[in-house]
Amino acid sequence: METTPSEITQSVEELENAIKRRRTFAIISHPDAGKTTLTEKLLLYGGAIHVAGSIKSRKAQRHATSDWMEIERQRGISVTSSALQFDYKGYGINILDTPGHKDFSEDTYRTLEAVDSVIMLLDGAKGIEPQTLKLFEVARLRNLPIVTFINKVDREGVPPLDLLAEIERTLNIRAIPRNWPIGTGRDFRGVYDLIDGTAHLFTSLEHGGQKSEEKILPAGSPELSNVLGTIGLANAFEDERELLLMEQNLWDTTLFQKGDVTPVFFGSALNNFGVEMFLEGFLPLVPPPQPRASSQGPIEPSNPVFSGFIFKIQANMDPLHRDRFAFLRVCSGKFKKGMTVRNNNTGQEIKLTKTLQFLGQRRELVEEAFPGDIVGLHDPGVFHIGDTLCEKGNFTFEGIPHFSPEYFSRVQIEDPMKRKHMNKGLLQIAQEGGIQIFSMDQDGERDMIVGAVGMLQFDVLKFRLLHEYKAPVKLDTLGYDRVRWITGEDSMIRALAGTLDTLLVYDQDKKPVALFRNEWALRYAVEKYPKLTFHGTSPRT
């Protein structure tokens, strides 16, 4: 059936309106700063959940039902990134959660490719911690706009002005507060909105599920002076306020959008305080879905042709349904369930039938999605991280980073009857991007070697092979810490294999790869074999 001109106008309008509303961001923080708590409170205020505390209990439930998540509990880290969607006052919000532990940073880096802005969450008692710094640097590299939320103001911590100075000094970004705490620690009474000049005092601190009750007072109101008096801030607050209002003149939206200025909000996620002011304050600041670089130039979100890319693959999310999902960020056009798309990285045509979206705590079948949205695609093993899917056209999206492993272990099956299970598990986990597989010969028949960017990945691998694939393995750490993909003449590559402190292996595509024991061994090989080319990642990528 032909599309009529009015239907075309209608769909252009629908797409443009959807893009305008969308806000897709990730929360970056050091473990324990309160990311889970803040995420939950954002969902509470967005109406996606009605009683907070449920994510925590979901965490607990997950531990009960999914064995490998036990690792997460044991180590107190969040291994997986999830994508959550909810609406708030006309905005369509997508939050991509990122694991905070350093050994999972590749996953985080890829997730940061799929967002348009970042919330940097700090623990007000601790300031900038190492993992925040690392993640901040990645966000900075991508020129992502960064909004700061300083959490746990209800705890005794670093004075707010010192926190701003620390952000500016350590991160080299201008920090401009949008609100200001009224007292901190035990004296914490509320926050002052520097934009509209009102003080929001809480009438009760609500640790648990419900939204907190608050009283809104204009600056200079006698009641506010009274409260300030009781916490010994009667004069100090007025002086600080004047100084902070002057700071507002330095606000520059263009610099914010380039990642050179960060608006700073204070609050307490646990007590629900400052969370709503934060939502209302940052949503109008952060940009809607942005154009994305591709092999054929930038792709505008308003381009009516559907396109997107896979940034994450995750198997066995639900142990009751041993399924695997590829997470797609929609970049342009409208996604419709059942549509046929082309995987431009493999040339394969795929009908997208089983597609999910993650609404608060629920997974729901998704009928349609727009730029900025994240869709979970059921993956029978046809997707790879970085794949571009589109309705029409031949371009591929750029920028999904690939990582060189720095740790290597030989895998030995403990029960030879389970070798098939082990191979299946290794392959699936490698496709998720957690490890890379190498073998001692080109047929992949002999010893298997796995490479990872962090040692913790090996613990997760062992645990998952045992619990998800029933394949107990032993991992022997090998003393190599550098890897290079090698191209050049076969005879020369074979000669390289005999070099001291060098191990020649093959990747899954049967490409030769050399592992080196140290920097010296690598340099020696590079000098000895000038006709070989040494690549940091697979030459295809």
Nearer to ligand G4P, 29 or 436 (CB): 29
Nearer to ligand G4P, 27 or 513 (CB): 27
* Residues 372, 395: Cα–Cα separation, whole Å: 19
Candidate residues 18, 224, 269, 413; the one interacting with ligand G4P per rule CB under 6 A: 269
Is 152 marked as a binding-site residue?
A: yes
What is residue 313's three-state secondary structure?
Answer: strand
**Minimal distance, residue 41 CB to ligand G4P, in Å:** 9
Nearer to ligand G4P, 34 or 308 (CB): 34
* Residues 225, 231: Cα–Cα separation, whole Å: 10
Residue recorded with tokens 């992949």: 444
Residue 537: which of 407, 409, 436 has the closest Cα?
436
Is 380 marked as a binding-site residue?
A: no
Binding mask 144-183 for ligand G4P (x = CB under 6 A): -------xx-xx----------------------------
Is 371 marked as a binding-site residue?
A: no
**Minimal distance, residue 55 CB to ligand G4P, in Å:** 9
Nearer to ligand G4P, 151 or 198 (CB): 151
**Minimal distance, residue 147 CB to ligand G4P, in Å:** 16
Residue 263: which of 272, 274, 253 has the closest Cα?
253
Is 35 marked as a binding-site residue?
A: yes
Structure tokens at 44: 């509470």
Tell me whether residue 541 is exposed, middle or buried, using C-beta atoms within 10 angstroms of its C-beta: 0 to 12, 13 to 18, 19 or more.
exposed
Is 97 marked as a binding-site residue?
A: yes
Tally of CB atoms within 10 A around 278? 26
Is 34 marked as a binding-site residue?
A: yes
**Minimal distance, residue 135 CB to ligand G4P, in Å:** 12
* Residues 386, 403: Cα–Cα separation, whole Å: 12
**Residues in a beta bridge with 217:** 199
Is 99 marked as a binding-site residue?
A: yes
Residue 374: which of 41, 140, 86 has the closest Cα?
86
Nearer to ligand G4P, 97 or 468 (CB): 97
Residue 63 within binding range of ligand G4P, rule CB under 6 A? no
User: What letter would DSSP give residue 344?
Assistant: T
Structure tokens at 54: 């449920």
Contact segment (CB under 6 A) with ligand G4P among 106-114, 265-273, 483-491, 518-526 equals 265-273
Candidate residues 8, 14, 17, 56; the one interacting with ligand G4P per rule CB under 6 A: 56
Nearer to ligand G4P, 92 or 281 (CB): 281
* Residues 13, 260: Cα–Cα separation, whole Å: 33
Nearer to ligand G4P, 37 or 117 (CB): 37
CB hemisphere CA count around 176 (13 angstroms): 21
Is 153 marked as a binding-site residue?
A: yes
**Minimal distance, residue 21 CB to ligand G4P, in Å:** 27
Is 50 marked as a binding-site residue?
A: no
Residue 270 within binding range of ligand G4P, rule CB under 6 A? yes
**Minimal distance, residue 286 CB to ligand G4P, in Å:** 20
Nearer to ligand G4P, 130 or 416 (CB): 130
DSSP letters spanning 138-190: HHHHTT--EEEEEE-TTS--S-HHHHHHHHHHHH--EEEESEEEES-GGG--E
Which strands, in side-by-side order, build the sheet including 502-507?
A: 473-478, 407-413, 448-452, 436-439, 502-507, 512-516, 482-487, 533-535
* Residues 235, 8: Cα–Cα separation, whole Å: 61
Tally of CB atoms within 10 A around 69? 20
Nearer to ligand G4P, 97 or 116 (CB): 97
Contact 482, 518 (CB under 8 A): yes
Nearer to ligand G4P, 208 or 220 (CB): 208
Q: Where are the alpha helices (DSSP H) in 49-147?
A: 54-65, 70-75, 105-112, 130-141
Residue 503: which of 517, 520, 489, 518 has the closest Cα?
517
* Residues 67, 469: Cα–Cα separation, whole Å: 12
Q: Which of residues 104-143 bind ligand G4P (CB under 6 A)?
A: none
Contact 507, 481 (CB under 8 A): no
Binding mask 13-52 for ligand G4P (x = CB under 6 A): ----------------x-xxxxxxx---------------
Residue 96 within binding range of ligand G4P, rule CB under 6 A? no
Binding mask 220-259 for ligand G4P (x = CB under 6 A): ----------------------------------------
**Minimal distance, residue 376 CB to ligand G4P, in Å:** 22
Nearer to ligand G4P, 34 or 127 (CB): 34
**Minimal distance, residue 155 CB to ligand G4P, in Å:** 5
Is 260 marked as a binding-site residue?
A: no
Q: Are strands 340-343 and 349-351 parallel, antiparallel or unpaired?
A: antiparallel
Contact segment (CB under 6 A) with ligand G4P among 263-271, 308-316, 412-420, 440-448 equals 263-271
Give how far Cα 380 sits from Cα of 188, 300, 351, 354, Å: 52, 30, 12, 11
**Minimal distance, residue 454 CB to ligand G4P, in Å:** 18
Tally of CB atoms within 10 A around 324? 20
**Minimal distance, residue 121 CB to ligand G4P, in Å:** 7
Nearer to ligand G4P, 204 or 340 (CB): 204
**Minimal distance, residue 154 CB to ligand G4P, in Å:** 5
| Total residues at interface with ligand G4P (CB under 6 A) | 17
Binding footprint of ligand G4P on the chain (CB under 6 A): 29, 31-37, 56, 151-152, 154-155, 268-271
Binding site feature residues: 29-36, 97-101, 151-154
Binding site feature residues for GTP: 29-36, 97-101, 151-154
